[in-house]
Amino acid sequence: MERVRARATPNFSGMTKKDLVAEAVQFYLDARREEMHQLDGTRAARVALLAGLTREQLDAVGGVDEKD
């Protein structure tokens, strides 16, 4: 049985795998851009984003200690 290797030739959509991945990454980043702008480098911002809360909601339930 002959092994089938991935090729860099266009697939059914006319895109190479590399182009398809690049397009998918760009789509994901564009869709999440607003969420990423909310990140200000603080632990509270990361926890709020992951929990699906606003910073105000997070603070209302006790907030997050920024110290390790």
Q: Provide DSSP, the chain.
A: -PPPPP-SS--TTS--HHHHHHHHHHHHHHHHHHHHHT--S-HHHHHHHHHT--HHHHHHTT------
pLDDT of residue 15: 81
Judged on CB neighbours under 10 Å (0-12, 13-18, 19+), 6 is exposed
- Write down the pTM of the prediction: 0.48
Task: Note down pLDDT in tens along the chain; length 68 residues.
Answer: 555 555 555 455 688 888 889 989 999 888 888 777 777 888 998 898 889 898 899 999 999 988 86
CA-CA distances (angstroms) from residue 11 to 3, 19, 21, 23, 57? 18, 11, 13, 14, 47
pLDDT of residue 8: 52
